[in-house]
Structure 1
Amino acid sequence: MQSAFNYLTEEQQKQIEQAVIDAEGKTSCEIVPVLATSSGRYDRPEDIVGLWLTVITALCFWYFFPHAQGQAGDWGGMPVFVELILAALAMVIAFILGAIAGSQIGWLRRLFTPRQQMQDEVAARAREIFFDKRVHHTEGGTGILIYISLFEHIAIALADQAVIDKLGQPFLDQICQKLTSGLQSGEPAETICEVIREIGEQAATPLPRAADDQNELQDVLVLID
């Protein structure tokens, strides 16, 4: 699973930070871009993959090492209790390996995680970051959070009510769609910069930057592993 800390090059991170500076030079909005590795724990894939690998292991034992009543199986006269112990041990190992695979292999985690659950986790994490990073506590109430979660391939745009009143919720929804498309197309840095510039242009007139406007939040790309 790709970490947020090595997803973009240092140069790409600087480009995003410069885009924030340029955009905030036109508007009173405080724009905070956030790139997260994942937004949820997602335990379900570990159990499912572990269970399936255990079942496959049990079927392999049944097929390759049959044991007819009154006969030693293909294990050369090995006592039944030893066979059972070995079979149980193999299935335990299979479950552990499956659980590890389900937790570490990204496409397996996505395969066995409902899309709605991922969307809920990303939305909840975005709201948490919105308050933790004090995006919601700007003096003019003009904070905008651009939250991108890499594992889920989902982006969320959150804004204070003053921003929503001026720009409209459809504009924020459009930004989310553009960010999601950028992740899927393999051009995340360019898309993030484009979205930030678009915010600056759209907010310049309804939420202009005042002469005495103070920069309340750092103009950096926040990385969360």
Structure 2
Amino acid sequence: MQRASDLFTEEQRKQVEKAVVEAEAKTSCEVVPVVATASGRYDRAEDMIGLWLAVFAAITVWVILPRQANESGNWDGAPFYIGLLAMLAGIMVAFIAGAIAGNRIAWLRRLFTPRNQMREEVSARARQIFFDKRVHHTSGATGMLIYVSLFERMAVVLGDQQVLDKIGQSSLDRLCQLLTDGLRHGEPADAICSVISEAAIQLSGPLPRDERDTNELQDALVLID
């Protein structure tokens, strides 16, 4: 699985930080870009992969292991208890292997995780970070969170009350779409910088920079593994 801390070079991190500084020179909005490795644990996917591999192992053992025939005089095949033990061993090994694979192979875990569940986890995690990183606690209620979750391949843009009042939820949704399009077709750092710049353009009119404004939140790209 791609880790957030490994995705960006030092130069790219400085590129994002510069974009935040330039944006906040135009608007009183406090922009906080965050990239996380994943937003949820998704244990159910590991269990599902293990279960399917266990079923496949049981069928395979049943098919390939010769069993003792009922006919008198035929000693071909293994005794029943040997087949049963082999099947149980195969099921256990396959389940454990599937759970490990589901934990370590991102695309496989994603395949067995419902998209609605991932969307709910990303949304919940973004809102948690919105409060934990104090984006919601700026003096003017002008915080904006730009959140990217790598495992789910989803993004969220959240704005505090003043941001919502001035540009509306539809503008935040368009910024989020711009971000996801950029992530799909280009470098993550470029996509994040692009949406930060666009946010500054949209916010500079309704929420212009004031000489009394102070930088309340860090400008650096936040990476969460």
1:67-91 deviation digits (Å, cap 9, x = unpaired): 14335554xxx54323322321121
Query: What residue is the counterpart of 1:119 in the other structure?
Result: 119
Flag the 1:159–1:67 CA change in 2: closer, same or farther, 3 A.
same
> How far 1:96 moved relative to its partner?
0.3
Q: TM-score, normalised by structure 2?
A: 0.94
After alignment, is 83-92 or 210-219 more displaced? 83-92
After alignment, is 62-71 or 196-205 more displaced? 62-71
> How far 1:135 moved relative to its partner?
0.4
After alignment, is 39-48 or 19-28 more displaced? 39-48
Flag the 1:219–1:72 CA change in 2: closer, same or farther, 3 A.
farther
Q: TM-score, normalised by structure 1?
A: 0.94
CA–CA distance in structure 1, aligned partners of residues 37 and 56 of structure 2: 32
The 3-state SS of whatever aligns with 1:158 is strand
The 3-state SS of whatever aligns with 1:102 is helix
CA–CA distance in structure 1, aligned partners of residues 209 and 181 of structure 2: 30
CA–CA distance in structure 1, aligned partners of residues 35 and 11 of structure 2: 15
Supply the AA of the counterpart residue of 1:141: A
1:4-83 alignment, distance < 5 Å? 4-70=4-70, 72=75, 74=77, 78-83=78-83
Flag the 1:28–1:93 CA change in 2: closer, same or farther, 3 A.
same
Alignment RMSD (CA, Å): 1.3
Supply the AA of the counterpart residue of 1:218: Q
Flag the 1:126–1:73 CA change in 2: closer, same or farther, 3 A.
farther
CA–CA distance in structure 2, aligned partners of residues 55 and 205 of structure 1: 61
CA contact (8 A) 1:65 1:73 kept: no
Query: What residue is the counterpart of 2:185 in the other structure?
Result: 185
Stretches of structure 2 lacking an aligned partner (at least 5 in a row) = none
Supply the AA of the counterpart residue of 1:7: L
The 3-state SS of whatever aligns with 2:31 is strand
Aligned residues: 222
Stretches of structure 1 lacking an aligned partner (at least 5 in a row) = none
CA–CA distance in structure 2, aligned partners of residues 157 and 62 of structure 1: 52
After alignment, is 172-181 or 14-23 more displaced? 172-181
Flag the 1:160–1:72 CA change in 2: closer, same or farther, 3 A.
farther
The 3-state SS of whatever aligns with 1:6 is helix
Indicate whether 1:96 and 2:96 are aligned.
Answer: yes
The 3-state SS of whatever aligns with 1:206 is coil
CA–CA distance in structure 2, aligned partners of residues 136 and 25 of structure 1: 20
> How far 1:29 moved relative to its partner?
0.4
The 3-state SS of whatever aligns with 2:6 is coil
CA–CA distance in structure 1, aligned partners of residues 86 and 75 of structure 2: 15
Query: What residue is the counterpart of 1:161 in the other structure?
Result: 161
